[in-house]
Amino acid sequence: MAFDGSARSLWAWGTVDRFPDEAARRRLAGMARMLTGGAEAALLPLPRDDDARVPPARVSPPPALAALASTDPHDRALHAHGRAYPDLVRGFRGDFAAAPDLVLRPASADAVAACLDWCAGARVACVPYGGGTSVVGGVEVAADRRGDFAGVACLDLERLDGLREVDLVSLAVRAGAGTRGPALERALAEHGLTLRHYPQSFEHSTLGGWIATRAGGHFATGPTHIDDFVEAITAVTPRGVVATRRLPASGAGPAPERLWIGSEGALGVITEAWMRVQKKPRFRAAASVKFRKTLDGATAARALAQSGLRPANCRLLDPAECLLHQVALDGTAVLLVGFESVDHDQGPALARALELCRDHGGVVASGPTVSDDGDGAAALGGGAGEAATWKKAFVDAPYLQSALVSIGVMADTFETSCTWDRFETFHAAVTAAAQDALKRTVGGGLVSCRFTHVYPDGPAPYYTFIGPARVGDELAVWREVKAAVSEARHVNGGTITHHPAVGRTHRPWYDRERPALFGDVLRAAKRELDPAGVLNPGVLVD
């Protein structure tokens, strides 16, 4: 199958036409040399789709499912990996050994049930697949588990899409699980509504994927996690259908829908959901504030998080992060602050927020800008100056990561959260672990940090590390760095993941983080819902 310009790349983030061209890759190589302390970065030849190595399929679809099934090697390769750094590297090398044996595309809940029936009966592992943007090995059965099954089926939910019902009185909508971010927001915009959930992967990820991974959107406070928006879900399990009741809130025992929020395809297939939506905000106010010390910026962010002001944006960038995104080059840390509302002027809230920042040594660098019909720029950080620069960098970052792979540079991120009382020692330990691991493996590199979210009791720090890749041995290096930073997060009291889920990559640390008895409860739920153990084996529990 040939790609046209807007087709999804077989190995890189996003679509083929958005992959940086040769001139952009050359510029990036120059910048990478600067960031990694002068290490060489060379343009490697780009892979060709025809060179993708896909193993022969081990199973064929039964006649009853033939109309939903594809065994085309290119289609299977497209569904082999998520989009984490090791996925990009393997794809770049043409290594699609992890490709599923077939791709099933059910268009109804009944068809999902038929797929699950066949998988359970034929002992075929079944991996629910939304947009395939997992960064934790969530859509790939591990090589050492594949032999336990007659085959692996990818259950691509793209046909379960679209806005199905709008309740303008309660401000809630019913939508198919396979609906991607842009399609959902376009459909909601026709009613003047928004879900207001923007993960960085928004362009290609799906509603069902967000729910299954407990995704985090990019507003710093207030409703931003997908958990906040789910009103009710419908999930098809090998034991039958679960449809929870639409309620604004309930005290009736543990909430049933919560079992599937974060279930990562291990407990059933989410086919649709009722989601709480909002009218589109129109009042906005934003500014950026510089701090000479990152820790002063952190104290200001804490003051904002505990003030009751609830800024939509409260994103602290440390000096390395500012350099990386060209937001500030003078060695300062920058706090991007933004507010928005559907109902009232945000100027007074911003004014009070800036007072708090000044109390902690902040100097306003740009803004305040206040508007009552903004174009959405404040959603991710305001419409001008540092905030606008940062927003563009944020949207382009996934494309740049793929381009870095193509010039022999390792670039990846990890994120977490911890309580404010331990932040200073936590941050120092995690940063040191990342820097030590880079030094040990590739001679050094850059480690940066920003806050993606701030809560009254703690921040969600998000780290980026960049270093020269040892071409041919990239995966071993990455595994060593990843293990070091995961261990540091765990032993210093943080979580192994604040938003992109557990998957297979984070399992060893998740197993240690969750209470043992809770692990037993999850295993019991898995046994009850998926007695044949075919649903996404290896994620969450065994």
Q: Give the interface size with ligand FAD as a residue count (CB under 6 A).
A: 39
Run of H or E residues at 167: strand 163-167
Helix (H, G, I), strand (E, B) or coil at 487: helix
Q: Measured from the CB atom, is 82 or 408 closer to ligand FAD?
A: 82
The residue behind tokens 């902040």 is 362
Closest distance to ligand FAD from the beta carbon of 462 (Å):
9
> Which residue do the tokens 């829908």 mark?
257
- In the numeric block, which tokens belong to residue 443? 């001679």
Residues 250-269 that bind ligand FAD (CB under 6 A): 264-265, 269
398 binds ligand FAD (CB under 6 A): yes
Which residue, 193 or 270, has its beta carbon nearer to ligand FAD? 270
Query: From the list 9, 36, 134, 294, which residue makes contact with ligand FAD (rule: CB under 6 A)?
Result: 134
- Residue 156, classed as helix, strand or coil, is strand
- Spell out, one character per residue from 170 to 209, where the chain touches ligand FAD: x when CB under 6 A holds, - when not: -------x---------------------xxx---xx-xx
By CB under 6 A, residue 81 contacts ligand FAD? no
CA distances from 342 to 192, 282, 294, 345 (A): 11, 5, 32, 9
500 binds ligand FAD (CB under 6 A): yes
Q: Which residues are paired to 284 by β-bridges?
A: 340, 371
From 28-36, 51-59, 213-221, 357-365, span contacting ligand FAD (CB under 6 A): 213-221
Q: Does 390 bind ligand FAD (CB under 6 A)?
A: no
CB nearer to ligand FAD: give 132 or 362. 132
Nearer to ligand FAD, 207 or 300 (CB): 207
The three state secondary structure string of 232-265 is EEEEEECCEEEECCCCCCCCCCCCHHHHCCCCCC
Task: Kindly state whether residue 20 participates in binding ligand FAD, applying the rule CB under 6 A.
Answer: no
Count CB neighbours of 538 within 10 A: 21
The only residue of 119, 270, 356, 529 in contact with ligand FAD, by rule CB under 6 A:
270
How buried is 470 (Cβ within 10 angstroms: 0-12 exposed, 13-18 middle, 19+ buried)?
A: middle
Residue 414 contacts ligand FAD per CB under 6 A = no
Q: What is d(CA 99, CA 358) in angstroms, rounded to the nearest whole number?
A: 54
What are the helix (H) ranges across 406-534? 423-442, 474-491, 507-513, 516-529
Q: Which helix (H) or strand (E) holds 104?
A: strand 102-104
Residue whose CB is less far from ligand FAD, 177 or 357? 177
Q: Is 318 in the site for ligand FAD (CB under 6 A)?
A: no
Residue 505 in contact with ligand FAD, rule: CB under 6 A: no
| Residue 360 is a binding residue for ligand FAD (CB under 6 A) | no
Q: Which residue is nearest to ligand FAD (CB)?
A: 209
Distances from the Cα of 259 to the Cα of 210, 458, 530, angstroms: 14, 25, 14
Say whether residue 501 binds ligand FAD (CB under 6 A).
yes
Residues 86-125 that bind ligand FAD (CB under 6 A): none
Residue 131 within binding range of ligand FAD, rule CB under 6 A = yes
- Residues 358 and 435: their CA atoms lie apart, in Å, by 32
Other beta carbons within 10 Å of 4:
8
**Considering only residues 133, 244, 313, 346, which one is a binding residue for ligand FAD as defined by CB under 6 A?**
133
Does 212 help bind ligand FAD (rule: CB under 6 A)?
yes
**Among 138, 368, 374, 537, interactor with ligand FAD by CB under 6 A:** 138
Minimum CB separation of residue 424 from ligand FAD in Å reads 25
Task: Return the residue of 29, 88, 116, 157 that touches ligand FAD, per CB under 6 A.
Answer: 157
Q: Is the distance from CB of 116 to CB of 269 less than 8 angstroms?
A: yes
Question: If you write DSSP's letter for every residue of 338-362 in order, what string do you get?
Answer: EEEESSS--HHHHHHHHHHHHHTT-
Binding residues for ligand FAD, per CB under 6 A?
13, 82-83, 127-135, 138-139, 157, 177, 199-201, 205-206, 208-210, 212-213, 215-216, 218, 264-265, 269-270, 398, 499-501, 536, 539
